[in-house]
Amino acid sequence: MNKRNFTMKAALLALACTAFVSMNAQKQYPQPEKMTPGMSEYWTPQPKVVTPGDISTNSAPSDAIVLFDGKDLSAWESANGGPAKWNVNNGIFTVNKEAGDIRTKQKFDNFQLHIEWCIPQNISGSNQARGNSGVFLQGMYEIQILDCYNNETYVNGQTGSVYKQTPPLANAMRKPGEWNVYDIIYSAPVFKEDGTYRVPPRVTVIQNGIVLQNNTTILGTTEYIGFPRVVEHGAGPIILQSHGDPSEPISFRNIWLREL
Q: Is the dihedral of CA 61, 65, 69, 71 positive or negative?
A: positive
> How far is the C-alpha of 20 from the C-alpha of 24, rounded, in Å?
6
- Per-residue pLDDT tens for 39-90? 999 999 999 999 999 878 889 999 999 999 999 999 999 999 899 999 999 9
Dihedrals phi, psi of 126, to nearest 5 degrees: -150, 170
The set of residues, in sequence order, having a beta carbon less than 8 Å from that of 147 and lying 6+ positions away, is 119, 123, 130, 131, 159, 173, 176, 247
* Residue 202 placed within a domain: yes
* Residue 179 placed within a domain: yes
Q: In CATH, what number is assigned to the domain containing residue 176?
A: 2.60.120.560
> Does residue 243 carry a pLDDT above 80?
yes
Please count the structural domains in the chain. Answer: 1
- What pLDDT, on a 0 to 100 scale, did the predictor assign at position 245? 84
* Residue 26 placed within a domain: no
Let me know: does 176 contact 119? Beta carbons within 8 Å: yes
Let me know: does 84 contact 102? Beta carbons within 8 Å: yes
* Residue 31 placed within a domain: no
Q: Where are the alpha helices (DSSP H) in 120-186?
A: none
* Residue 140 placed within a domain: yes
> Does residue 14 carry a pLDDT above 80?
no
> Does residue 120 carry a pLDDT above 90?
yes
Residue 7: band (very low, low, confident or very high) from pLDDT cuts 50, 70, 90: low
> How far is the C-alpha of 88 from the C-alpha of 100, rounded, in Å?
15
> How far is the C-alpha of 239 from the C-alpha of 21, rounded, in Å?
76
> Does residue 91 carry a pLDDT above 90?
yes
What's the whole-model pTM score?
A: 0.86
| Comparison of pLDDT for 18 and 48, the residue scoring more | 48
* Residue 154 placed within a domain: yes
Nearest to 120 by CA among 209, 239, 247, 253: 247
* Residue 20 placed within a domain: no
The number of residues in the chain equals 260
Q: Percent of the chain having pLDDT more than 70?
A: 90
Let me know: does 99 contact 78? Beta carbons within 8 Å: yes
CA angle in degrees (0–180, nearest 5) for 62-65-67 = 130
> How far is the C-alpha of 26 from the C-alpha of 110, rounded, in Å?
60
> Does residue 20 carry a pLDDT above 70?
no
- Per-residue pLDDT tens for 140-193? 999 999 999 999 999 999 999 999 999 999 999 999 999 999 999 999 999 999
| Residue 146 lies in domain | 65-259
> How far is the C-alpha of 18 from the C-alpha of 13, rounded, in Å?
9
| Comparison of pLDDT for 176 and 12, the residue scoring more | 176
* Residue 175 placed within a domain: yes
